[in-house]
């Protein structure tokens, strides 16, 4: 069916197509042989496939269980394909509206902000080995040039700005901070109690007398606070509230910077681990084992390298070899109740590997559980 519609200049592109067919559609589209393409949002993700016109047949999409409106980020990503660089002065976007979207939702869809792009960077042994392969550049320098580190540098500036704002929001020297925080807390509780009081008319299970008594008691506590009579009390409360919000933001930003420092500590720890297993030298030069591990990307590169160089696979039958290798490519995790017992020869081989790792890395046996 796909071939017949492709001959007419019509194509389709979605996640259920096999990779080969998707690649054929993409090649034909880039050559201008497809005039109309029906596609899901996956076509707009990471592919340089501009078009003269982008048409949204509906503003909803199916999301696992039900339909939901497109987000602003999804709309921006897909509509951004309209307009071919060097060919079109303008790109055309057609949005088919229906009764499922309100004017407010349409405004949010068209004028909303795109999603923030955050780095999902994390270290792995394979990444460290790959970084060590790069000549004349240390892994530390590569990390410093990463997008992850770039984002953290902007966080450093953000922390400085927050600290400057905190310094500007200072209190008079005669203000007791403990009393002020107590006053602010009481005012927040009082505001909540007043909301409950107004809800009495619609919520029959609330007792008006008890709510009124609670409000009266809170008002008395507020009036007894030594700072309640100050003429600038409202200004002090506003400053205290702003400082609280800034301090919370500052704590989150500092946590991000702490994680940045931790990534460099983790890099050094992983290099020590690789040295102990003889994957790299003390000068961070890859050994033969390290170069072998760099070529493996479909499974646990360290374990597979150890098994190959120890001659583990040479004694296996074809069936055993297929069984062992399948363990390195299956990503699904199983619960304890689904775990099966290994054959005696497999258990012996696993025990040998465990003992080798425990010995080389000085891991206490109580922590060395490999399954």
> What pLDDT digit, counting tens, does each position of 78-88 carry?
888 888 777 77
330 has pLDDT over 70: no
336 has pLDDT over 60: no
Q: Let me know the angle formed at the C-alpha of 259 by 258 and 265, rounded to the nearest 5 degrees.
A: 95
Predicted pLDDT at 366: 47
Q: In sequence order, what are the beta bridge partners of 107?
A: none
Predicted pLDDT at 370: 45
d(CA 49, CA 37): 11
C-alpha gyration radius of the chain = 31
Sign of the dihedral defined by the CA atoms of residues 266, 267, 269, 270, in that order: positive
Contacts 24+ apart (CB under 8 A), 367-371: 371/339
107 close to 69: Cβ distance less than 8 angstroms: no
Q: Is 25 exposed, middle or buried (0-12, 13-18, 19+ CB in 10 A)?
A: buried
Question: Which pLDDT band, with edges at 50, 70 and 90, does 258 fall under?
Answer: confident
Q: What is the dihedral of CA 28, 32, 35, 37, to 10 degrees?
A: 40
> What pLDDT digit, counting tens, does each position of 152-185 carry?
667 777 888 888 888 888 777 777 777 778 877 8
Predicted pLDDT at 369: 45
Contacts of 163 (CB under 8 A, 6+ apart): 250
Question: Which pLDDT band, with edges at 50, 70 and 90, does 288 fall under?
Answer: very high
201 has pLDDT over 60: no
1 has pLDDT over 70: yes
Predicted pLDDT at 339: 57
d(CA 319, CA 313): 11
Predicted pLDDT at 198: 59
371 has pLDDT over 60: no
Q: Let me know the angle formed at the C-alpha of 94 by 89 and 95, rounded to the nearest 5 degrees.
A: 145
Query: Could you give the angle at which helices 233-276 and 147-168 cross, rounded to 10 degrees?
Result: 150
pLDDT > 90 in the chain, percent: 2
C-alpha distance from residue 204 to each of 198, 207, 208 (Å) = 12, 8, 9
Nearest to 47 by CA among 56, 57, 55, 37: 37
* DSSP category for residue 180: H
pTM, whole model, 2 decimals? 0.49
Predicted pLDDT at 99: 76
> What pLDDT digit, counting tens, does each position of 297-320 carry?
777 888 888 888 888 888 888 888
**Mean pLDDT in the chain?**
78
Question: Which pLDDT band, with edges at 50, 70 and 90, does 75 fall under?
Answer: confident
């Amino acid at each position: 069916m796909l071939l017949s519609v492709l001959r007419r200049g019509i194509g389709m592109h979605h996640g259920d197509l096999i990779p080969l067919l998707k690649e054929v559609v993409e090649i034909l589209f880039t050559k201008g042989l497809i005039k109309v393409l029906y596609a899901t949002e996956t076509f707009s993700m990471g592919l340089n496939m501009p078009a003269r016109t982008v048409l949204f047949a509906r503003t909803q999409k199916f999301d696992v269980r039900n339909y939901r409106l497109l987000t602003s980020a999804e709309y921006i990503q897909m509509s951004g394909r309209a307009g071919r660089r060097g060919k079109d002065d303008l790109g055309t976007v057609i949005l088919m509206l229906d009764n499922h979207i309100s004017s407010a939702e349409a405004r949010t869809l068209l004028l909303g902000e795109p999603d923030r792009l955050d780095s999902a960077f994390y270290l792995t042994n394979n990444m460290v080995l790959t970084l060590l392969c790069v000549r004349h550049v240390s892994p530390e320098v590569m990390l410093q040039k990463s997008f992850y580190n770039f984002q953290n540098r902007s966080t450093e500036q953000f922390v400085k700005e927050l600290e400057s704002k905190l310094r500007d929001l200072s209190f008079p020297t005669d203000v007791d901070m403990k009393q002020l925080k107590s006053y602010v807390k009481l005012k927040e509780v009082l505001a909540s109690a007043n909301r409950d009081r107004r809800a009495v008319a619609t919520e029959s299970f609330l007792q008006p007398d008890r709510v009124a008594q609670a409000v009266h008691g809170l008002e008395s506590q507020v009036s007894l606070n030594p700072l309640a009579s100050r003429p600038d009390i409202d200004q002090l409360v506003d400053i205290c509230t702003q400082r609280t919000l800034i301090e919370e933001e500052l704590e989150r930003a500092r946590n991000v910077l702490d994680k940045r420092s931790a990534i460099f500590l983790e890099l050094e720890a992983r290099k020590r681990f690789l040295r102990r297993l003889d994957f790299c030298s003390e000068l961070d030069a890859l050994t033969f084992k390290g170069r072998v591990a760099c070529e493996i990307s479909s499974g646990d590169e360290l374990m597979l390298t150890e098994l190959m160089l120890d001659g583990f696979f040479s004694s296996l039958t074809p069936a055993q070899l297929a069984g062992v290798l399948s363990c390195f490519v299956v990503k699904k995790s199983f619960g304890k109740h689904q775990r099966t017992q290994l054959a005696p020869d497999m258990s012996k081989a696993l025990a040998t590997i465990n003992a080798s790792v425990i010995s080389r890395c000085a891991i206490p046996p109580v922590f060395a559980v490999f399954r």
